Amino acid sequence: MRIRRVLTTALFLLGVAAPAALAVAAAPAVADSSPSPSPSGDDGAPTEAGTSFRTATEIEQGQRATAGASTGDYLYWSFPADAGQRPTVKATVKLPGSAARSAAETWQIDVYDGLRRRQACQYGAQTRTAAAGAASVELSCTLRTVRAWSETWANDPLPGTYYIRLTATGLPASGLGLPVNAEVEVGSKDIGGAAAVDGSLAEPLVPGIATTGGKSDEDSDSSAAVLSSIEPDDGWASGWWSDRWVWTAIGGVLAALAGIGGYALTRGAGRPSRVPPGA
C-alpha cells in the first residue's frame, strides 16, 4: 500500500512538473523569434548601400533595405547576429529592361563576419545567373548557427557584426554601368540550446568595440568613433538562457523520482512479512 502511494505521488509530481517545464522552454523560443519585417513605408529603412566594409550601411534584422546602383558596383550592408541565431540573407536585384541588356548576368551575395572572414552558406542560392530578358534575380544565403565561442583556428560564425556584399560577376563590357535596384533583408531563426557551447567571447566581433571608451567628446583623450553601432534588441549575449536549463531540471526531477521509487521498492521487498502471533 505504501509503495503504491509513493509511486502515485511520484507520477503526480512528474505530471505537474513536465508540462510547466515544457511551457518555460517554449517561452524563450517565442520571445527570441526572428523580428517581423518592417512595415511598408517605414522611414527608418535604409535606402542606400555602402561601397566598402568601412562604409557599409547598417541594417537591423527584419528591415528591408533598398539601394539604387549600377552593374559592376559593390554594395555593402552590415547587420548584428548574436549567439544561437541562424541568419538568412535574402537579396533581390531588379534589372533594366531587355532592350538595354544583350547578355546574361551573374549576381552573387557574400557574407563576412566581424573579422572579415567569408562565411560559407549552409544552403541557399548564393549565386544566380539572370538571362538577358529576366526582370529580376533573387539570391539567398543561410549561414551556420552563430556560436558563442570557438577555437581560434576555426572559421565558425561568432557573435558580432556581419557584412553583406552584393555584386555582379563576369559582366561583359556592354553591361557595365546599367542602372539596377537592389533589396536586401535579413532574418534569423533562434536555434536554442541545441547550439549552446561551454564558453563565450569577452566581446562581440564588432569593428571599433576595442577602441570605444566612456570619456566625453570634450576630453582630448577620448577614444575613436565606433565603426558599428548596431546590436541585437536585447543586447549582446542575450542568448545566455537556453532550453538546456529546462531539460537539465527535468532530468534532475526524473532522477529524484526514480531514486524515491527505487528506495520504496527495495525497502518494501527487504522487510519480512508480518506473521500474526500464535499462527
Distance CA 95, CA 92 (A): 10
Amino acid at 75: L
Distance CA 268, CA 279 (A): 23
Q: Give 265's pLDDT tier (boundaries 50, 70, 90).
A: confident
- The class (CATH top level) of 35-192 is mainly beta
> Cell numbers 549567439 correspond to what residue?
83
Q: State mean pLDDT over 20-39.
A: 43
pLDDT at 177 over 70: yes
Return the percentage of the chain with pLDDT > 90, whole number: 35
Confirm if 167 and 67 have CB atoms less than 8 A apart. no
Q: Give 184's pLDDT tier (boundaries 50, 70, 90).
A: very high
The cell for 278 is 500464535
pLDDT of amino acid 275: 58
The partner residues of 20 in beta bridges, in order of sequence, read: none
- What is the pTM (predicted TM-score) of this model? 0.69
Most confident of 74-83, 205-214, 215-224: 74-83
Of 127, 106, 97, 94, nearest to 171 (Cα)?
Answer: 106
- Cβ atoms within 10 A of the Cβ of 134, count? 15
Q: Comparing 53 with 232, which gets the higher pLDDT?
A: 53
Q: Give 272's pLDDT tier (boundaries 50, 70, 90).
A: low
Question: Would you list the domain boundaries of the chain?
Answer: 2-27+243-270, 35-192
pLDDT of amino acid 84: 86
* Least confident range of 54-58, 88-92, 241-245: 241-245
pLDDT at 162 over 50: yes
CA 43 to chain centre: 25
Instruction: Indicate the burial class of 34 (C-beta count within 10 angstroms; 0-12, 13-18, 19 or more).
Output: middle
Q: Give 21's pLDDT tier (boundaries 50, 70, 90).
A: very low
pLDDT of amino acid 219: 44
Return the percentage of the chain with pLDDT > 70, whole number: 66
